[in-house]
Structures are given as C-alpha cells and as structure tokens.
Amino acid sequence: MDSAQEDASSTDVFLVTANVGSLFEDPERLLQLWLSEFLAKIAVAQPRFLALHLQEVGGKTYEKSMEYVQEFIRCLCDAPEMGDFTCVHIFMDEDFKSAEHFTALGSLYFVHKDVASLKIWNFLTHSWEESLQDVKDKHIYSGNIETIATKEKSKFPQHFFPECKWSRKGFMRTRWEINGTVIDLVNIHLFHDASNLAACENFPSVYCKTRRRALVHTIERFHLDEQNGTVPFFLFGDFNFRCDTEGVVKELTENLTPHRVQNVKNENDKIHYRNSTGNNVLTVGKKEFSHADHQLKFKEDWLKKFDRELEPLKDVLVEYPIKFVPSYPFEEDPEMPTDYMSTRCPAWCDRILMSPQVNEIIESDDWTYGMIGEAVCMGDHKALRIPQLYRSYRRAWRTW
C-alpha cells in the first residue's frame, strides 16, 4: 500500500446502519414510517455517496416477507430524494433456504451523478472493475448472491455460534475508490444475548466473548488477505454490543434486596430487587429487564460507563464519541417511538466503527454521529448515521 495521490476531490459521504427486522414483522405500520424518516435525512444531507447497511432484512420469516423487501427497495430507489443517485449497487442476501450461507444482510450503495471518479473492487480477480460513473443504471443483486464478485460475504463458522445453533450472523464487504480514495465498507451482524440472567453473571459475559471472537476473526481475515490487500475500512452494522450487565445490576440494586422466583422448568426464573418497603425496583428474567423508572433511567449519562465491549479492541477499532441514547430495544409501536421495551437492558447495539487508518484520509472534523428517527418509530433498533463525513481527502490509497 502506497500513497497514490494528494489533494483528491472533496466528497460528502453518508454512512447508515439499521437493523430492520421488525419493519418486516409489521410492514403496514412501520415500513413507510422508516422510509419517510430516512429519506428526509438524505434530503437535508445531500451526500454524494450513500452507504446503507441493513441487518435482518425480511424479519424472522423471510419467505413470507419477500414481497415487502422488494417493495422496500422499489420505494427507496424510486423516491424523488434519490433521483440524483444515478449509480446504484444493491447486494441483498435473500437465499433463506441455505443454512450455510444465509446472513439476511443488505448492503445498498447510491452514488450521486456529480461524483467524478468511481470504481468497485472485484474480490475474485483482485482488481478494479471498469469505472461505473458512465453506467446510469441500477445494479440489484438479490436471491443467491454467492457468485457476485464485487462483494465478499461470509457467515461466521458454526462453532462460533452459541450452542452451535446457526443463525443469520456474518459480514459483507465491498471496496470502493471514490474520487481517488479507497475504502472498504463492511456490513456486520454479531450475536445477541440469549438470556439476561446469564449476561449478568459476570463481565465479559459468555455472549460478549462470542461477539469479540467473531469480531477479531473478521478483522484478522482482512489483515491476512494478501490477495486483496488492506485499505482503510468502515465497519458498521448491528454489533449487538451490550452494557456490562453485571455492573449495571450492581449499580441499580445498591441497598435493594434480591428475591428469586423459580419456575419448575427454569425458563421463567426471575430476580426481583426490592426496596425497604417491599416494592419491586428492578426485575431481571431471561427475557425481562424492567426498572421502576425504565423510560428515564436508561437515558441518563451514568449508563455510558458500562458500554465496555470495545475496550480490548481500542487499538484496532476507532469510534467517534457517542452522544446519543442507547439504540436498542425500542418499542415497535408507532404511538411509543421514544420508549424502551422492558426485555433487555438498553444498549448501544448499532455502531459505526473504523480502522485507525481512516484518520489519514479525512481532513474535516465536521461530522455528526447520531440516530435517525429519534422521535419516530423505526422498529426495535434506531438507525445510526455519520453524515457528510468527508469534506476533503488528504491522501488517496491504492491496493497492490
């Protein structure tokens, strides 16, 4: 890797990640709400390159949701706000019958007509495809996309999965040269916490360790890829990062008394933490995490110190300061857009991370890292974005 060019053209880039699974569980109420809020942000930002990374496309029952996925793409591509994006590349992993490959990831890229120079990488020939700027068309790859060479996609090895039960977790990478500067854009979905009770036993929890293992596996794969080389990368998706649940419970239950309620099958075990008058303040069950002041407590600044999953990787992954409330789990009811469900401890699951080398290709500090749809129901996850990240490039890279 050598520097190839100085003072490349300015390019405004808009990066977005969104877990959209719940949109397809209730498409009639949520799909248009999500699209309207997203498109309103695009209209204001007016980026020249838009990257939208989606996870859980199609929801839990993809075979029943395919028509809504197609409608989602059509509405997005045909929206007036997207009219000046003349080059479109969409990669939708829809082969739900393939347990070995299916990730339910969707990576959507929209390039404005004003972008002077654009290339996309071919991961099979290990070279650039022809310039796309003259191709005024949409390239939508859906269904089984295993043979599409302009993306690299991988499901995590089965032994990585908790209890070795395969689910739709993996990553998808594309590489772009935008006005002379090369970046990798990686969509990722990591494992969730199956049980709050197990998660609060210690930190790092068994789930945290599994996520970290998969994340390190992904980064090492990029670094060891001699054929494609390494370039600065953005890694954005649903990392399922959770707060240090053990620490959160200790913080919330000081001076409270625990009372365990056991079920014969151990499926509905709960711990009630009560105050001196016998009132429940906090209840923790396998899929319950409920505080007496649930809607306010987890939006306060104290929770941020328990966001610790990235600490061991701070030398290899960089993130802008988080100044927004946890992105998950929000109510899926349009009448309750700012309320959290009482199923999990609210956490910053959805993130936009980058390699340290990204700092070498960014001149401007004019960035905003935050949510889309703060006051609108976007499903159980709020979308995250970094708009207009690149004002100008200081250095361009090429791959050898």
Q: Which tens digit of pLDDT belongs to each residue from 7-21? A: 445 788 999 999 999
pLDDT confidence of 394, banded at 50, 70, 90? very low
What pLDDT does 166 receive? 61
**In the chain, pLDDT over 70 holds for what percent of residues?**
89
Residues 229-242: b if buried by 16+ CB within 10 A, e if exposed: bbbbbbbbbbbbbb
What pLDDT does 67 receive? 85
**In the chain, pLDDT over 90 holds for what percent of residues?**
75
Distance CA 122, CA 76 (A): 26
Distance CA 41, CA 16 (A): 11
What pLDDT does 225 receive? 95
Distance CA 187, CA 40 (A): 23
Q: When comparing pLDDT for 98 and 82, which is higher?
A: 82
Average pLDDT on 268-282 reads 93
179, amino acid identity:
N
What pLDDT does 265 receive? 64
> CA quadruple 382, 357, 169, 93: dihedral positive or negative?
positive
Does the pLDDT of residue 47 top 80, yes or no? yes
Does the pLDDT of residue 44 top 70, yes or no? yes
Average pLDDT on 339-358 reads 96
Residue 138 CB: number of other CB atoms within 10 A? 14
Does the pLDDT of residue 396 top 50, yes or no? no
List the domain boundaries for the chain.
13-195+204-243+307-386
352 burial level (CB within 10 Å; 0-12, 13-18, 19+): buried
What pLDDT does 163 receive? 63
What pLDDT does 10 receive? 72
What pLDDT does 63 receive? 76
Instruction: Tell how strand 257-261 and strand 270-274 pair up.
Output: antiparallel
Which residue from 264, 325, 253, 255 is spatially nearest to 290, judged by alpha carbons? Answer: 253
Q: When comparing pLDDT for 307 and 100, which is higher?
A: 307
Which residue from 65, 71, 141, 144 is spatially nearest to 109, judged by alpha carbons? Answer: 141
Q: Which tens digit of pLDDT belongs to each residue from 116-167? A: 889 999 999 999 986 554 455 789 999 999 999 999 999 988 777 666 566 7
Q: Which tens digit of pLDDT belongs to each residue from 371-389? A: 999 999 999 999 999 864 4
DSSP codes of every residue in 290-359:
EETTHHHHTTSGGGGGG--TTGGGTTT-B-PPP-S---B-B-S-TT-TTPBPTTS--B--EEEEE-GGGG
Q: Give φ, ψ of 31 to 5 degrees.
A: -60, -50
Which residue from 225, 253, 242, 272 is spatially nearest to 400, judged by alpha carbons? Answer: 225
What pLDDT does 95 receive? 84
Q: Give φ, ψ of 155 to 5 degrees.
A: -85, 145
What pLDDT does 165 receive? 63
Q: Which tens digit of pLDDT belongs to each residue from 170-224? A: 999 999 999 888 999 999 999 999 999 999 999 999 999 999 999 999 999 999 9
Cα-to-chain-centroid distance, residue 140: 21
What pLDDT does 159 receive? 75
Average pLDDT on 46-74 reads 91
Q: Which tens digit of pLDDT belongs to each residue from 284-296? A: 999 999 999 999 9
Q: Which tens digit of pLDDT belongs to each residue from 24-40? A: 999 999 999 999 999 99
Which residue from 32, 109, 15 is spatially nearest to 71, judged by alpha carbons? Answer: 32
13-195+204-243+307-386 belongs to CATH 3.30.160.250? no
